[in-house]
């Protein structure tokens, strides 16, 4: 196996199971590793520490194992079975009400650079590293073994995420399909609600599985309310709100494709067009035009405003402005469910932005709940950076 040696004293974070080796910690490489190769990591004193994918850039190795061999024939089957066992323990694999979940959440599952979402037998894989991209066929074979007959297809959707240099065209496509399986979308069940998921044309892997628990909370608070769902994508929160007895729900997203899916999802769950309004629009402009007190439950789930540290200040200002508008507009005694999925915006930053927003409106606001990503979007305790989704449930007097 190709090897790297760390600089003296730079082995501490690896010994504490942090899954990355930064380029500044590397003293020497042996065997001239190419990007995506599995390398063994040694301390300056020559002690074996871990093995992982070699990368070009500020992170040199993304660790796959601290005690095993990522090149062993059973590595993928073993690690994916462990991920599946964890989902089973979470009650996600044999639920009559939910048949979709995240099977692999990168570092959270000890597999940096890999995302696999499971949609009732269809696995959608996204490689965020060259090493994971190169391993995709082995991963696909392991998925066939761990799921057996219940697997319908494995779809690779890495073209937008695998960091290959420009010039190399990546094409998304099926790595495997069960005989006769031709669907490009299918309906999945989440907490008893049905959602069409189109993994080929949808955003990310097709559906935002990370809002499952927060949607259930919206359902609990929706009875008798007029609901506004901003940045609704395919209408996850909208369907739950209707299911929870909302009087009326308006859904807003700037993507026409997403809005077409919202209408289909609303109908699929048996709700009528009278109960629901669809608006393909900029959510911020839409909110600016909303009459005060028209809605008594507003959901604000924008895309990541900051994709890197450098964008943090502007992002916080954007969260503040958006939340100020939502708090200002919600009816007295109403709720605002507000989220940020920017990894670089931490809980405290976000709470501060929402606090400033509230203060600027002069309204009385209580925090009823602090919201998170669900268990299947696991956070590795040695890699707290894996925490990205945060939210607040506000009650506005
Ligand atoms: N709440 C959704 C996920 C939201 S993802 C769910 O539960 O599934 C963010 C969404 O914001 C995407 O659907 C994207 O199309 C939309 N979006 C991005 N910028 C927007 C804007 N300025 N106005 C409205 N929608 C926007």
Closest residue by CA, ligand 1 atom 7 = 236
Q: How far apart are CA 123 and CA 155, in angstroms?
A: 6
Check pLDDT > 70 for residue 213: yes
Give helix 75-89 / helix 136-147 axis angle, nearest 10°: 50
pLDDT > 90: what percent of the chain? 96
Residue 195 lies in a domain: no
Check pLDDT > 70 for residue 65: yes
Note whether 239 and 292 are same-domain residues.
yes
How far, rounded to the nearest angstrom, does the alpha carbon of residue 156 sit from its chain's CA centroid?
Answer: 16
Residues with catalytic annotation? 341
Closest residue by CA, ligand 1 atom 12 = 233
* Residue 180 confidence (pLDDT): 95
User: How many angstroms is it from 317 CA to the middle of ligand 1?
Assistant: 18
Q: How far apart are CA 381 and CA 7, in angstroms?
A: 25
Note whether 150 and 220 are same-domain residues.
no
DSSP state of 368: E
Q: How far apart are CA 272 and CA 194, in angstroms?
A: 15
Closest residue by CA, ligand 1 atom 13 = 233
The residue behind tokens 């760390």 is 6
Residue 44 lies in a domain: yes
Closest residue by CA, ligand 1 atom 21 = 282
CATH of the domain at 360: 3.40.50.150
* Residue 189 confidence (pLDDT): 98
The predicted model gives 126-137 an average pLDDT of: 96
Closest residue by CA, ligand 1 atom 20 = 254
- Concatenate the DSSP letters of all residues of 4-62 into one string: EEEPTT--HHHHTT-SEEEGGGEEEEES-PPTT-EEEEE-TT--EEEEEEE-SSSEEEE
Closest residue by CA, ligand 1 atom 11 = 231
* E-strand stretches of 179-288: 185-190, 193-198, 226-230, 248-253, 276-280
* Residue 1 confidence (pLDDT): 84
User: How many angstroms is it from 253 CA to the middle of ligand 1?
Assistant: 5
The better pLDDT of the pair 166, 143 is held by 143
pLDDT > 70: what percent of the chain? 99
User: How many angstroms is it from 81 CA to the middle of ligand 1?
Assistant: 33
Q: How far apart are CA 186 and CA 230, in angstroms?
A: 24
* Residue 167 confidence (pLDDT): 59
Closest residue by CA, ligand 1 atom 16 = 231
Residue 70 lies in a domain: no
Q: Which of 303, 338, 391 to mutate to test the pocket of ligand 1 (most atoms within 8 A of CB)?
A: 303
User: How many angstroms is it from 261 CA to the middle of ligand 1?
Assistant: 13
**Which protein residues are within 6 Å of ligand 1, measured from CB?**
203, 208, 211, 231-234, 236-237, 252-255, 258, 282-284, 301-303
Query: Taking all residues of the chain, what is their mean pLDDT, rounded to a whole number?
Result: 97
| Residue 212, CA distances (Å) to 51, 108, 168, 209, 302 in order | 34, 18, 36, 6, 16
Note whether 219 and 283 are same-domain residues.
yes
DSSP state of 344: T
User: How many angstroms is it from 125 CA to the middle of ligand 1?
Assistant: 22
Measured over the CA atoms of residue 12, residue 15, residue 19 and residue 23, the dihedral's sign is positive
Beta bridge partners of 39: 2, 52
Q: How far apart are CA 191 and CA 102, in angstroms?
A: 15
* Residue 170 confidence (pLDDT): 86
Note whether 357 and 289 are same-domain residues.
yes
Beta bridge partners of 28: 5
User: What is the position in ligand 1's atom list of the atom closest to the CA of 231?
Assistant: 11
CATH of the domain at 48: 2.30.130.10
Note whether 240 and 220 are same-domain residues.
yes
Q: Which domain holds residue 130?
A: 75-187
Q: Which of 233, 259, 307 to mutate to test the pocket of ligand 1 (most atoms within 8 A of CB)?
A: 233
Q: Which of 214, 231, 241 to mutate to test the pocket of ligand 1 (most atoms within 8 A of CB)?
A: 231
185-196 tens-digit pLDDT:
999 999 999 999
User: How many angstroms is it from 155 CA to the middle of ligand 1?
Assistant: 23
* Residue 169 confidence (pLDDT): 74
Check pLDDT > 90 for residue 140: yes
86 Cβ neighbours under 8 A, 6+ residues apart: 109, 376, 378
User: How many angstroms is it from 291 CA to the middle of ligand 1?
Assistant: 22
Note whether 253 and 117 are same-domain residues.
no
Tokens of 261: 């899916």
* Residue 234 confidence (pLDDT): 98
Check pLDDT > 80 for residue 231: yes
- Which among 140, 182, 143 is positioned nearest to 158, based on CA atoms? 140
144-170 as b/e: b if 16+ CB within 10 A:
bebbeeebbbbbbbbeebbeeeeeeee
Residue 192 lies in a domain: no
| Residue 101, CA distances (Å) to 92, 119, 127, 171, 379 in order | 7, 7, 17, 25, 15
pLDDT band with cut points at 50, 70 and 90 for residue 164: confident
pLDDT band with cut points at 50, 70 and 90 for residue 68: confident
User: What is the position in ligand 1's atom list of the atom closest to the CA of 255?
Assistant: 15
User: How many angstroms is it from 344 CA to the middle of ligand 1?
Assistant: 19
* Residue 166 confidence (pLDDT): 59
Measured over the CA atoms of residue 361, residue 317, residue 251 and residue 98, the dihedral's sign is negative
User: What is the position in ligand 1's atom list of the atom closest to the CA of 234?
Assistant: 8
User: What is the position in ligand 1's atom list of the atom closest to the CA of 237?
Assistant: 7
Q: How far apart are CA 31 and CA 186, in angstroms?
A: 46
- Which domain-ending residue is among 65, 84, 105? 65
Asked whether the beta carbons of 176 and 142 are under 8 A apart, the reply is: no
256-313 tens-digit pLDDT:
999 999 999 999 999 999 999 999 999 999 999 999 999 999 999 999 999 899 999 9
3-class DSSP state of 260 = helix
User: What is the position in ligand 1's atom list of the atom closest to the CA of 341?
Assistant: 5
Q: Which of 205, 237, 254 to mutate to test the pocket of ligand 1 (most atoms within 8 A of CB)?
A: 254
Residue 202 lies in a domain: no
Note whether 82 and 61 are same-domain residues.
no
Note whether 264 and 327 are same-domain residues.
yes
* Residue 352 confidence (pLDDT): 98
Q: Please count the structural domains in the chain.
A: 3
User: Which H or E run includes 175?
Assistant: strand 173-177
The better pLDDT of the pair 160, 107 is held by 107
Check pLDDT > 70 for residue 381: yes
Closest residue by CA, ligand 1 atom 18 = 303
């Amino acid at each position: 196996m190709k090897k790297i040696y760390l600089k003296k004293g730079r082995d501490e974070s690896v010994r504490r199971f942090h899954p990355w080796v930064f380029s500044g910690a590397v003293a020497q490489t042996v065997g001239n590793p190419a990007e995506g190769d599995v390398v063994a990591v040694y301390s300056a004193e020559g002690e074996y520490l871990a093995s992982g994918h070699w990368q070009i850039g500020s992170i040199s190795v993304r660790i796959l194992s601290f005690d095993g061999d990522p090149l062993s024939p059973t590595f993928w089957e073993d690690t994916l079975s462990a991920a599946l066992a964890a989902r089973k323990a979470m009650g996600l694999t044999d639920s009559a009400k939910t048949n979709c979940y995240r099977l692999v959440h990168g570092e959270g599952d000890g597999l940096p650079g890999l995302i696999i979402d499971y949609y009732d037998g269809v696995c959608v894989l996204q490689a965020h590293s060259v090493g994971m991209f190169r391993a995709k066929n082995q991963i696909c074979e392991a998925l066939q073994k761990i799921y057996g007959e219940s697997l319908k297809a494995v779809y690779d959707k890495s073209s937008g995420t695998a960091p290959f240099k420009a010039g190399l065209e990546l094409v998304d496509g099926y790595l495997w399909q069960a005989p006769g399986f031709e669907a490009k979308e299918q309906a999945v069940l989440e907490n008893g609600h049905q959602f069409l998921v189109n993994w080929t044309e949808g955003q990310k892997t097709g559906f935002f599985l990370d809002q499952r628990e927060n949607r259930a909370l919206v359902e609990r608070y929706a009875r008798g309310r007029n609901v506004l769902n901003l940045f609704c994508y395919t209408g996850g929160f909208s369907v739950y709100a209707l299911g929870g007895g909302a009087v009326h729900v308006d859904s807003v997203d700037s993507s026409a494709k997403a809005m077409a899916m919202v209408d289909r999802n609303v109908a699929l769950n048996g709700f009528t067009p009278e109960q629901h309004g669809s608006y393909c629009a900029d959510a911020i402009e839409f909110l600016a035009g909303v009459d005060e007190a028209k809605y008594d439950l507003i959901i604000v789930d924008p895309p990541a405003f900051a994709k890197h540290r450098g964008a943090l200040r502007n992002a916080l200002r954007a969260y503040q402005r958006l939340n100020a508008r939502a708090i200002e507009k919600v009816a007295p005694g109403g709720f605002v469910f507000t989220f940020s999925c920017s990894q670089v915006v931490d809980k405290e930053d976000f709470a501060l932005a929402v606090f400033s927003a509230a203060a600027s409106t002069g309204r009385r606001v209580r925090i009823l709940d602090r919201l998170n990503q669900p268990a299947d979007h696991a956070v590795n305790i040695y890699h707290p950076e894996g925490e990205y989704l945060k939210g607040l449930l506000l009650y506005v007097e």
